[in-house]
Chain A
Amino acid sequence: MISAPLLAWLQLRREAARLAVAIAGVGFAVVLMFMQLGFMDGLFRSATALHRRLAADLVLMHPHYDVLGKPTAFPRRRLYQALAVTGVATVTGVDTALARWKNPWTGRTRDLFLIGIDPAADALTLPGVETQRRMLQQPDLVLFDALSRQEFGPVAAEVTAHGPLATELNGHRVRVCGLFRLGTTIGTDATVVTNRVTFRRIVPGYGTARVALGLVRLQPGADAEVVRAAIEAELPPDVTVLTRRAFAHRELAYWRSVSPIGFVFTFGVGMGVLIGAIIVYQILFADIAEHQAEYATLKAMGYTTGWLARTVLAQASVLALLGFVPGLATAWRLHVLAHEATNLPMKIGVDRGLLVLGLTLAMCWLSALIALRKLRRADPADVF
C-alpha cells in the first residue's frame, strides 16, 4: 500500500548524484530543442519581417510572385482599377529589386534589397520610414537600414555622427540621408528605401508602367475577404490578390521549399531528443538494475509488472519535469543573447514551450519503455 509515484520519487532522490546527472542531461536536451526551434522560427519569422511592416490589408502581385525581390511585376494600371472597387480606401505601389551597394570605405560592392515607395503615401509602418519619408521627395536620397550587416560599412554610425553619406547603388550616385530599423532576414543582408523615381534611375530596366506590389487599405468596416475576391474578379488574371497574412505565408512557403532550414533544424531537434533519451535510458536502466532484488521482492508480494512499470514511468515523468524547468530558464536566457548577436526575432511562446515539454515527456517515456525490458526480467523466484 504505497503509491507508485511516491516510490518513484523516493528511489530517484536516494541517488542524489545520479539524479543531478539525469536532470542535467534532460535539461541539455531541452536547451538544444529550444535553440534549434528558436533559430528555425527566428529565420522564418525574419523572412516576413517586412511583410508585417506593410501598411496594407490586401496585397496585389503578379501571379508568379513567390519571394521578395523576385523580378515579377504587373501593370501599374491595375492599382487604379483596384481603387475603383467598393471597400477600397487607398492603393499605393511598392517597387522591389536587388541592387549592388558600393561600400564607401572599401569600394567593394554587395547586393542589398531596394524598395521604392511613393513618399506621399503610407507604405511601410517602420518608425524611421514613417517620420522621414517626406525627405525622399528629393531625388537620389535614400534611407538605410541601421540593422544591416556590417559588411556594408559603418553607415549608421557615420550618418548619425556626420550626416548624409554619399555612395553608389548599381553605379548610380545616391546619398544616405536617414536611417530606419528593420533587420536582416533570411534573404537580405541590408535594405534601402528610396522614392519611385530614384528607384528607376538605379534599376533602369524596371520600367515606369510596372510595379512589384500594390498595397490596398480598406475602408472601415469592409470585409477583407469580400474585397479581395471582388478585386480579383474585377481585374484581369495578370494580378493575384492576397491578404497580408496570406502574402507572408507565401514568402514562408518559398523559403521552406528552397532552403534546408526546416530539415537542418528539425534534424537538430531530433538529435536533442536522441541525446536526452540515451541519458535518461542509462539512468533508468542503472536504477532498475540496482533495485532488481527489491522489485523482485515486490513481485513476490503480489505487485504486478504493470505496477512496477508505472513506477518507472513516473520516474521518467519526474526527470522530464525536473529537467525541463532549468532547460527552459537556460534557453530563455540564450534566446536573449542570440537575439542580441544575430538580430533574429527569437522568442519562446507558450505553444513552443508546450511542444518542447511534450517532446521531453515523450523522450523520457520512450527511454522508460526501453528500460522496462530489464524490469520484466526481475523474476520473483530469483530472490532466493
Chain B
Amino acid sequence: MEAPVIRMAGVCHSYGTGTLRTQVLFDVTAEVHAGEVVLLTGPSGSGKTTLLTLVGCLRALQQGSVVVLGQELLGASETARVAVRRRTGWIFQLHNLLRALTVLQNVRTGLIGETGIDAAEADRRARALLAQVGLAHHALRRPEELSIGQRQRAAVARALVSRPRLVLADEPTAALDRQSGRAVIDALRALAKESGAAVLLVTHDDRIFDAGDRVLHMEEGRLEPALPGHSKEGASCPHPSSAFSR
C-alpha cells in the first residue's frame, strides 16, 4: 500500500511560554491518503487551523511526528520546509491574490516549485487551469474586477496549477454565498480527484460537508471519532464539472 500523504502521530502544540503557555493540540494522530478529500471540522479555537499550519510547514512542529510527502517535519531545516511548501497547494479563507498581477499571472505564481519550464509552458498550464475553474475569459483581468467567488476559484487554480500531491485549504468557502461556495468546492474536488491529490480542508461550513470523503472532527485540541452521517469514505465525485462554471 502506498504511504499516506500525511501521517501525524502524537502531535502536541502550545502557544506562549511560562505561565501564559496554553496547549492547543493534544496527541493528534491521523493519516490522509492520496486521492482523498478530508474535511477537518470543529468549533473555532479547537486547534484545526493550528494543525493545518503545522502540516503546511508554516509553524515549527514542537512535539510528535508529522510526515508530509515523505518529509519528517520534526526538526526539519528551513530549506526542507520551503521545499515541502512548494509541493503543497494552498487555498486561504481570503483569496490573497496579488492585486498588482492579472489573474493569469497570479495562477502562474503557483508554479514556484516547477523549475525548467519556460514562460509559454507556464502560461499554457495556467490557462488550462483557469478554463477548468470556469475563468478562461477572465485571465487578463485584475483580481478586483472579479467577484469574490471568482477570486476564490482563481485561488483554487493557483493552488492546483503545479499538480501538487497535497492541497491544504483553510475555510475556502467561509466568505462566499451558497452558490459561489458550491462552485469553489466542486472545482477543488474535481481538480483534486483528477490529479489524485490529497486534500485536507479546514471548514465549519456545513453546506460543503458532502464534498468530503471523510471528516475529522476536533474538539478542544483532540480528534474526535467521526460524526455519524458525515463519513463518506470511498465516495466518488457526485458533481459534474459544469456545476461551477457560472
Residues of A within 8 A of B (CB): 1-2, 7, 10-11, 13-14, 291, 293-294, 297-304, 380-381, 383-384
Chain A residues, CB < 8 A from B186:
none
Per a CB cutoff under 8 Å, which of B53, B96, B99, B112 touches A14?
B99
Chain B residues, CB < 8 A from A380:
58, 85
Chain A residues, CB < 8 A from B92:
297, 300, 383-384
Number of A-B contacts (CB under 8 A): 72
Q: Which 9 A/B pairs are nearest by Cβ-Cβ distance?
A: A302-B86, A1-B111, A302-B85, A297-B96, A10-B100, A381-B58, A14-B100, A380-B58, A1-B122
Chain B residues, CB < 8 A from A300:
56, 58, 85, 90, 92
Chain A residues, CB < 8 A from B101:
2, 7, 10
- Which partner residue on chain B sits nearest A304 by CB separation? B82
- Which partner residue on chain B sits nearest A6 by CB separation? B105
In the bound complex, how far is the Cα of B108 from the Cα of A381, in angstroms?
Answer: 22
Chain B residues, CB < 8 A from A302:
82-83, 85-88, 112-113
Given A1-B117, A294-B97, A303-B109; 8 other pairs, CB 8 A cutoff: A2-B105, A7-B101, A293-B96, A297-B96, A301-B110, A302-B112, A383-B58, A384-B170
Per a CB cutoff under 8 Å, which of A7, A293, A301 touches B112?
A301
Give chain B nearest CB distance to A2 CB in angstroms.
5
Residues of B within 8 A of A (CB): 49, 53, 56, 58-59, 82-83, 85-88, 90, 92-94, 96-101, 105, 108-114, 117, 119, 122, 170
Give chain A nearest CB distance to B106 CB in angstroms.
9
In the bound complex, how far is the Cα of B88 from the Cα of A301, in angstroms?
Answer: 7
Q: Is the interface of B mostly helix, strand, loop or mixed?
A: loop
In the bound complex, how far is the Cα of B44 from the Cα of A302, in angstroms?
Answer: 27
Does the CB pair A301–B122 fall under 8 Å? no
Does the CB pair A301–B90 fall under 8 Å? yes
Does the CB pair A294–B96 fall under 8 Å? yes
Chain A residues, CB < 8 A from B59:
381
Does the CB pair B109–A301 fall under 8 Å? yes
Question: Which of A1, A291, A297, A299 has the largest number of chain B CB atoms within 10 A?
Answer: A1
In the bound complex, how far is the Cα of B113 from the Cα of A10, in angstroms?
Answer: 22
| 18 A-B pairs whose Cβ atoms sit less than 8 Å apart in the complex | A1-B110, A2-B101, A7-B98, A10-B105, A11-B100, A293-B94, A293-B96, A294-B96, A294-B99, A297-B98, A298-B98, A298-B109, A301-B112, A302-B82, A303-B112, A380-B85, A383-B96, A384-B92
In the bound complex, how far is the Cα of B117 from the Cα of A384, in angstroms?
Answer: 31
Chain A residues, CB < 8 A from B114:
1
Per a CB cutoff under 8 Å, which of A2, A10, A294, A384 touches B108?
A2
Chain B residues, CB < 8 A from A11:
100
Give chain B nearest CB distance to A304 CB in angstroms.
6
In the bound complex, how far is the Cα of B117 from the Cα of A293, in angstroms?
Answer: 28
Does the CB pair B98–A301 fall under 8 Å? no
In the bound complex, how far is the Cα of B204 from the Cα of A6, in angstroms?
Answer: 38
In the bound complex, how far is the Cα of B117 from the Cα of A32, in angstroms?
Answer: 46
Chain A residues, CB < 8 A from B94:
293
- Which partner residue on chain B sits nearest A8 by CB separation? B100
Does the CB pair B112–A384 fall under 8 Å? no
- Given contact pairs A301-B85, A302-B82, A13 touches B100 in the complex (Cβ within 8 A): yes
In the bound complex, how far is the Cα of B82 from the Cα of A302, in angstroms?
Answer: 5
In the bound complex, how far is the Cα of B170 from the Cα of A2, in angstroms?
Answer: 24
Chain B residues, CB < 8 A from A383:
58, 92, 96
In the bound complex, how far is the Cα of B112 from the Cα of A2, in angstroms?
Answer: 8
In the bound complex, how far is the Cα of B109 from the Cα of A161, in angstroms?
Answer: 78
- Which partner residue on chain B sits nearest A295 by CB separation? B98
Give chain B nearest CB distance to A22 CB in angstroms.
16
- Which partner residue on chain A sits nearest B59 by CB separation? A381
Chain A residues, CB < 8 A from B100:
7, 10-11, 13-14
In the bound complex, how far is the Cα of B99 from the Cα of A298, in angstroms?
Answer: 13
Does the CB pair B96–A1 fall under 8 Å? no
- Which partner residue on chain A sits nearest B142 by CB separation? A14
Chain A residues, CB < 8 A from B108:
1-2
In the bound complex, how far is the Cα of B172 from the Cα of A287, in angstroms?
Answer: 27
Does the CB pair A2–B58 fall under 8 Å? no
Give chain B nearest CB distance to A82 CB in angstroms.
73
In the bound complex, how far is the Cα of B58 from the Cα of A298, in angstroms?
Answer: 12
In the bound complex, how far is the Cα of B59 from the Cα of A303, in angstroms?
Answer: 15
In the bound complex, how far is the Cα of B85 from the Cα of A2, in angstroms?
Answer: 17
- Which partner residue on chain B sits nearest A382 by CB separation? B58
Give chain B nearest CB distance to A222 CB in angstroms.
65
Give chain A nearest CB distance to B143 CB in angstroms.
10
Chain B residues, CB < 8 A from A298:
98, 109
In the bound complex, how far is the Cα of B119 from the Cα of A2, in angstroms?
Answer: 9
In the bound complex, how far is the Cα of B119 from the Cα of A298, in angstroms?
Answer: 19
Give chain B nearest CB distance to A38 CB in angstroms.
38
- Which partner residue on chain A sits nearest B95 by CB separation? A297
Give chain B nearest CB distance to A133 CB in angstroms.
70
Give chain B nearest CB distance to A107 CB in angstroms.
73
Give chain B nearest CB distance to A305 CB in angstroms.
9
In the bound complex, how far is the Cα of B122 from the Cα of A301, in angstroms?
Answer: 17
- Which partner residue on chain A sits nearest B92 by CB separation? A383
Chain A residues, CB < 8 A from B83:
302
In the bound complex, how far is the Cα of B85 from the Cα of A136, in angstroms?
Answer: 89
Question: Which of A304, A380, A384 has the largest number of chain B CB atoms within 10 A?
Answer: A384
